[in-house]
Amino acid sequence: MNYYAGIDIGSTAIKAALIDDEGKIVGTHIAPTGSSFHKNALDTFMNLLNQHGIERQAVKFITATGYGRKLFKEADDSISEITANAIGAYEAGKAFGGVRTIINIGGQDSKAIQIDVQGNVSNFAMNDKCAAGTGRFLDVAARNLEIDLEELGDYHFAGRNAPLTINSTCAVFAESEIIGLLAKGHGKQEIVSGIHYSIARRTVRLAKRVGIEDRVYFDGGPALNKGLVAAMQDELGRELVIPEHPQTTTAFGAAILARSLFLAESKEEA
Amino acid sequence: MKTIKTAINNIDLRRFRFWLQLFFFALLMYGGYFAIDLGSRLPTFACAFNEAGRGGICYLFPLQHQLGVPSSRLFSWAGLAVLQGLLIFSLWFFALNKAWCGYACPLGTIQDWITALRNRLGIRYSRYSQGQFRQLSRIKYLLLALMILIPLGVGAALLPHEMGTPFCDICPARMVLPMFTGDFSQLTIDFSSKTTMIMTTLGLLITGLFFTGAFFKKRFFCFFCPMSALHYLLSKPALLKLKKDGNKCTSCGDCYRVCDMEIREIADEVNETNIMQDDCIMCLKCVAHCPEPDALKATFAGIPIFSSTEQGFIKRMHKGQKHEQQ
Amino acid sequence: MNSSEADTYYLSRQAREAEATLEQLQDDFPDNPQAMQYFYDLFHRVYGQGEIIKHSGKLVGTTCIHAPEELIYAFGATPVRLCNGSYHYDQIGADFMPAKSCSLVKATLGSLQAKAAVPNTQSLDLIVNPTTCDQKTKASAMMSAMGYKVEDLELPPAKESEEARLYWQRSVRRLATRLRELTGNKLTRKKLQHAMARTSRAQTAFRTLHQLRKSAPTILLGKDAFLVTNAYFFDDIERWTAAVEQLNNELLQRQQDGFQAAQKRAPRILFTGSPPIFPNLKLPILIETSGGVVVADETCSANRMLYDMTAVDEWRLNDMVDSLADRYLKPCTCPIFTRNDDRQRRLLQLATDFKVDGVVYQAFSGCQVYEMEYRSIADALAERGLPMLYVETDYSPDDMGQLSTRIEAFLESIKTRKRQAL
């Protein structure tokens, strides 16, 4: 039995995915990137193998993606996270009836990708200059409100008033705005939902640049935040397809590609 | 095959044109001496008044005569002669389209010689403004209309008989072309009646205008030529065509710069493929000066015979520079 | 630059920036053509060591390709294109320019302010500044304030009308008058002919190079082509022409030998937009290190500068000057004009002729005209089924990571598309 791996080396977290000969997911693993990402990437990969009792030699091809893709020497090839995300979403999206638009909100960036019926990237847009529409904004908010990231979703639905408008265009400046709102006596719930809407609006603007077509797939860590998902659906005016493990779609896509590349190479050699 | 094509596309058009124009000039002006007669339905000036040397007669002469016969005869079976004349004219015309103007017409050739003289003397030419161009361009249609209506009027006894060939009376070819066979008899005012006096005076004035105009403007007379107007009206089915591939056009305007007739559409039109305008004399200078391969071409029955090429352009520009540097 | 500055020039920041790019151009790619050594050495000597290129007559700086260089040559002066590509000067310019302005203008003004830039701009006798985009137009007064003699070359904002054409012809004539005052020379037919012949030879050499890049597989990488055309900004024109002709010969030989400069399946890219100016060749280099190859371009630091040729009917002085004026206005596809039909047509024709797989559209942040045109260009290309990547960037080296993700994703999507089309 051959296995194929995809490693998504992001700025905050490293995600690894393992698939088998049939392209089915065997397992995934997530760990923080930390400061020495090469070592951590290797560790994450090996941890994943150990979890499922698989030998290193059984993994025939590793594709790396994400910001650290070029420097992970263990990998056999590297690919941009846009292509990897598209492949992963296309495959995962089959279970939902097929997806055409992918929205990814990561730790430090966000992207919108449009794919055609065959899963090829036809257009994409990225926001990697500003943290305001990314997971970082959620981190900042959670810290300032002194709540856990995982609780953000609950707070969103617990509000009794309308979501507050967050005016700052910058996630860093928003900190002072949040503190100010708290001081004025506004509830944390409304602040949280306001932040979710702020991110949602920004992201939808980004998505409109590539054109939004059903179905829309939403991945990246923040997709676990049900409050954010609700805000996004509201702004988009349609339902989103959320996978069970949204952080690992890109790594999964890289693994799928690893398999395709390996099979193509073997065919060439034959 | 490819080398022939390349050789043609790179030819020195100026020289080719010079010799071809000389050939037609000799044919039409002196052919008569060699018993050459190409008939009287030619789509180019080949003046009937050049009695000694003419190798054929310009269609406008018999056309005016035919239209000038008494109306009762004209609008009867005898009128078929007009259609027959038009048919033969058209057949001659379809072969070369308006290249008759650029390569065969003796009056055109004379203007080109005058232009060459001016160039030698170092005097600059003048260009029309767009507004002037548009207005002047219409005059030839007016002349064509008058050329047809006045004889009809004569035939209907509404106008004096002496006005039967109104265009020939004012045409500069009548006065200029016979000069080349030593016949200066046309350079007179005919005092036999008031009408002839006016018409021939007008003719002399226009001939004077012809010479001065041709000196300062390239192909001055061709803007006003009723033959040109007649050509254009019949030009659709002609075999020789001027074609443009707008996709390849860079709007550099080189074609417009070198065009004797200052036709803007060659440069500006990017959608139509057939770009010959009513003023065009099909000298093909535009094709010769286009640096974009296959953007402009002359086709005969659909087959490209002369296309714009980069090599041809560069060769001609270098030649032009060297030629002038001597 | 005084002699002690000249001795330590190579230590300066702009020199180091230039050397870094040169290193990339040579070392990151295998099998550079032998004839390119001339250009690598040229940039090393001029940008890395501060060598001054000898010129004859007055030195006239130009800020745009709209300035008719033949005219400048004909008056016995030497033109030098001032458009600057250095991040170092961009930062100097940022001191007095608005934050959101175009890097190119900031760098150009920065280098003029610094007065110690290459290639030897401190001894400029005149700057000819065509009034093209807003920022270049406003730069006129700023350059005057720096102490330079500036001649505004008035360019019409639309080029279709007869009025625009005549206006531009008059502008060019006025430039001729100004040049006569500057140089004290008269414009004669012979001198202008000679100038036009030299430029025409350079343009012919470029056209040959341009046509050779149509080869599939590629025989020359875009990073070298851009370096060659960038050299035209300041190099001696006859030496440049000879060097390009030598390059062409070598490329012809390559073509016959079946030599490949890039992978067979490398996506063929058409590069358009804000001009890559040495040392800011980061985007073409990035495309080519990521596995693509730039086979053609529509930028004013390459194709647009040298492609169009002048036709003259009668070699009279007035006809020649007007022909030159027409050539510098009519075919220009710069986005400063009202319409961009010509640019769309040119891009589509280039895409066809060079069998292009995709288009990369570079717009400098703050370049409003290029930014505004990108939509219409993207639509025109999409109609033809050509994918386009729009990249907004500036001279700072900080965005390499972001750019590489985008470029790689774009190239990957092209490769996938091609693979599936088979």
Strands of A77-78's sheet in order across: A25-32, A13-20, A3-9, A59-65, A77-78
pLDDT digits (tens, 9 = 90+) for B236-274: 999 999 999 999 999 999 999 999 999 999 999 999 999
Residue of A67, A80, A210 to mutate, interface with C, max C Cβ within 10 Å:
A80
Domain residue spans of chain A: 3-129+202-269
Q: Is C344 in the B-facing interface, judged by CB distances under 8 Å?
A: no
Q: Is C323 in the B-facing interface, judged by CB distances under 8 Å?
A: yes
Q: Is C422 in the B-facing interface, judged by CB distances under 8 Å?
A: no
DSSP string, C174-236: HHHHHHHHHH-PPP-HHHHHHHHHHHHHHHHHHHHHHHHTT-SS-SS-HHHHHHHHHHTTTS-
* Chain center to CA of C5: 29
CA torsion, points B89, B92, B97, B102, in degrees to nearest 10?
-100
Second CATH level (architecture) for the domain A3-129+202-269:
2-Layer Sandwich (3.30)
Question: How far off is chain B from C74, nearest CA to CA, in Å?
Answer: 15
Partner-chain residue, chosen from A67, A121, A129, that has the shortest CB–CB distance to C409: A121
Position with higher pLDDT, C10 vs A15: A15
Residue closest to A118 by CA, chosen among A99, A92, A95: A99
Q: Indicate yes or no: CB of C405 within 8 angstroms of CB of A126.
A: yes
DSSP string, C100-166: TS-HHHHHHHHHHHH---TTTGGG-SEEEEE--SHHHHHHHHHHHHTT--EEEE---S--SSHHHHH
Residues of chain C with pLDDT under 50: none
Strand duo A3-9 + A13-20: pairing = antiparallel
Residues near B110 by beta carbon (within 8 Å), at least 6 away in sequence: B176, B214
Position with higher pLDDT, A58 vs B75: A58
Q: Indicate yes or no: CB of C409 within 8 angstroms of CB of A80.
A: yes
ipTM for the complex shown: 0.87
Distance from first CA to last CA of chain B, Å, rounded?
35
Q: Indicate yes or no: CB of B257 within 8 angstroms of CB of C341.
A: no
Partner-chain residue, chosen from C160, C307, C311, that has the shortest CB–CB distance to B257: C311
Q: What mean pLDDT is predicted for residues B271-298? A: 93
Question: How far off is chain B from C192, nearest CA to CA, in Å?
Answer: 10
Distance CA C186, CA C177 (A): 9
Q: Count of CB atoms within 10 A of residue A95's CB?
A: 11
Partner-chain residue, chosen from A118, A121, A123, that has the shortest CB–CB distance to C420: A118
pLDDT digits (tens, 9 = 90+) for A202-252: 899 999 989 898 899 999 989 999 999 999 999 999 999 999 889 999 999
Statement: residue A129 has pLDDT above 80:
no
Q: What mean pLDDT is predicted for residues B31-56? A: 89
Distance CA C175, CA C182 (A): 10
Q: Indicate yes or no: CB of C405 within 8 angstroms of CB of A120.
A: no
Q: Indicate yes or no: CB of B253 within 8 angstroms of CB of C326.
A: yes
Q: Please, are residues A155 and A178 in contact by the beta-carbon 8 Å criterion?
A: no
Q: How far is CA B287 from CA B27, B132, B316, in A?
A: 27, 25, 11
Question: How far off is chain C from A185, nearest CA to CA, in Å?
Answer: 38
Nearest residue of B to residue C165, measured between CA atoms:
B253
Q: Do chains A and B touch (3 or more CB pairs under 8 A)?
A: no
pLDDT band at residue B172 under the 50/70/90 scheme: very high
Whole-number pLDDT of residue A33: 87
Q: Is C331 in the B-facing interface, judged by CB distances under 8 Å?
A: yes
Distance CA C374, CA C368 (A): 10
Position with higher pLDDT, A144 vs B109: B109
Q: A229: number of CA atoms within 13 Å, CB side?
A: 19
* Chain center to CA of A265: 29
Whole-number pLDDT of residue A140: 84
Q: Is B117 in the C-facing interface, judged by CB distances under 8 Å?
A: no
Q: Indicate yes or no: CB of C402 within 8 angstroms of CB of A81.
A: no
Subunits close to B (at least 3 CB pairs below 8 A): C
Question: How far off is chain B from C191, nearest CA to CA, in Å?
Answer: 10
Q: Indicate yes or no: CB of B317 within 8 angstroms of CB of C345.
A: no
Whole-number pLDDT of residue A168: 74
Position with higher pLDDT, C421 vs B90: B90
Q: Indicate yes or no: CB of C309 within 8 angstroms of CB of B258.
A: no
DSSP 8-state symbol, A252: H
Question: How far off is chain C from A124, nearest CA to CA, in Å?
Answer: 9
Distance CA A115, CA A210 (A): 10
Q: Please tell me the CATH code under which domain B239-325 is placed.
A: 3.30.70
Question: How far off is chain C from B263, nearest CA to CA, in Å?
Answer: 13
Partner-chain residue, chosen from A67, A121, A128, that has the shortest CB–CB distance to C413: A121
Subunits close to A (at least 3 CB pairs below 8 A): C
Taking contacts as CB-CB distances below 8 angstroms, the residues of chain A near C416 are 83, 120-121
Residue closest to B291 by CA, chosen among B235, B234, B262, B248: B248
Q: How far is CA B184 from CA B53, B205, B209, in A?
A: 14, 16, 18
Whole-number pLDDT of residue B79: 80
Which DSSP helix (H) or strand (E) runs through B106?
A: helix B106-121
Residue closest to B60 by CA, chosen among B204, B230, B280, B188: B230
Whole-number pLDDT of residue C120: 62
The three-class DSSP label of residue A15 is: strand
Distance CA A122, CA A140 (A): 34
Report how many Cβ contacts below 8 Å link chain B to chain C. 94
Nearest residue of A to residue C408, measured between CA atoms:
A80
Distance CA B33, CA B52 (A): 7
Subunits close to C (at least 3 CB pairs below 8 A): A, B
Taking contacts as CB-CB distances below 8 angstroms, the residues of chain A near C406 are 80, 82, 124, 126
Copy the structure tokens of residue C140. 């006129």
Mean pLDDT, all residues of chain B: 90
> Global pTM?
0.88
Distance CA C24, CA C18 (A): 10
Distance CA C138, CA C152 (A): 11
Amino acid found at B51: E
Q: Indicate yes or no: CB of C308 within 8 angstroms of CB of B321.
A: no
Q: Indicate yes or no: CB of C314 within 8 angstroms of CB of B253.
A: no
Q: Please, are residues C153 and C175 in contact by the beta-carbon 8 Å criterion?
A: yes
Statement: residue A100 has pLDDT above 60:
yes
Return the minimum-mean-pLDDT range out of A84-93, A144-153, C180-189: A144-153
Residues near C35 by beta carbon (within 8 Å), at least 6 away in sequence: C243, C246, C247, C249, C250
Residue with tokens 């493990």: A245
Strand duo C150-153 + C78-81: pairing = unpaired
Nearest residue of B to residue C304, measured between CA atoms:
B250
Taking contacts as CB-CB distances below 8 angstroms, the residues of chain A near C417 are 120
Q: Is C191 in the B-facing interface, judged by CB distances under 8 Å?
A: no
* Chain center to CA of B276: 13
CA angle C294, C346, B298 (to 5 degrees): 125
Residues of chain A above pLDDT 90, percent: 47
DSSP 8-state symbol, A68: T
DSSP 8-state symbol, B42: B
Residue of B245, B250, B311 to mutate, interface with C, max C Cβ within 10 Å:
B250
Copy the structure tokens of residue A47. 């941890």
Partner-chain residue, chosen from C401, C402, C420, that has the shortest CB–CB distance to A120: C420
Kindly tell me the burial class for residue C396, based on how many C-beta atoms sit within 10 Å of its own C-beta (0-12, 13-18, 19 or more). Answer: middle
Nearest residue of C to residue A128, measured between CA atoms:
C402
Q: Indicate yes or no: CB of B252 within 8 angstroms of CB of C189.
A: no
Distance CA B165, CA C283 (A): 73
Residues 207-246 of C with CB under 8 A from B: 207, 211
Taking contacts as CB-CB distances below 8 angstroms, the residues of chain C near A64 are none
Q: How far is CA C102 from CA C229, C333, C396, in A?
A: 22, 19, 12
Can you name the residues that pair with B268 across neighbouring β-strands? Answer: none
Domain residue spans of chain B: 13-232, 239-325
